[in-house]
Amino acid sequence: KAGVTQTPRYLIKTRGQQVTLSCSPISGHRSVSWYQQTPGQGLQFLFEYFSETQRNKGNFPGRFSGRQFSNSRSEMNVSTLELGDSALYLCASSPSPGQSTDTQYFGPGTRLTVL
Amino acid sequence: GENVEQHPSTLSVQEGDSAVIKCTYSDSASNYFPWYKQELGKRPQLIIDIRSNVGEKKDQRIAVTLNKTAKHFSLHITETQPEDSAVYFCAASTFFSTGNQFYFGTGTSLTVIP
């Protein structure tokens, strides 16, 4: 099976702009989670989607939002970009709904730079 | 919520030596503990995982141990090789009725010196 894919791989934006990132999970996986990775903070959980519904949300401001489509593909949007939003954004998919032993598989990430 | 602490943040070992990375968690409801390896510029890759009904799991040079009572788990790499150099993340998974959520440690940068 093809792995998790993310587009674009690199983005450069300026403060105040908005950005949309895309994630396609492994075929058959229905849960998609998003993480922000920065050198000092490690992997910070943003949100998780399953069946087009956001099930869990991390501690990020409302500027960060997402959605999931019926084919399980997910998008993440960040509005009014700030310099501190520069990070690697990773998505991860897992196969089964709501089971605590699901394994997550990561995509390659989107490197966002805010100038 | 769950809190995962990981130590050390950096670790250097000589090639052939063993490396140990430790994580603690706070939520006794967590019952799945994966470890990821992230090489520079690449995605985190699952290298081993353990579930709460098991105390130890091995896969060639890699092993993970879990102590549920003390709420800590560790990654052991034996006979380290230069290609083991990477950042390693531990995680704990907590199941909610609305789905599961992973909590990650802050990572350990392992350098294997040839």
Dist CA A78 CA A31 (whole Å): 20
- Which uninterrupted H or E stretch holds A68? strand A64-68
Question: What is the share, in percent, of chain A residues with pLDDT greater than 70?
Answer: 94
Using an 8 Å Cβ cutoff, are B15 and B25 in contact?
no
A50 touches chain B (CB under 8 A): yes
Nearest CA in chain A to B29: A100
Cβ neighbors of B96 (< 8 A, separation 6 or more) are A55, A56, A98
Question: Chain B partners of A106 at a C-beta cutoff of 8 Å?
Answer: 36, 43-45
Could you read off the pLDDT of A87-100 as tens digits, one per residue? 999 999 987 665 55
**Structure token digits, residue A68:** 């999931």
Nearest CA in chain A to B49: A103
- Is the pLDDT confidence value at B49 over 70? yes
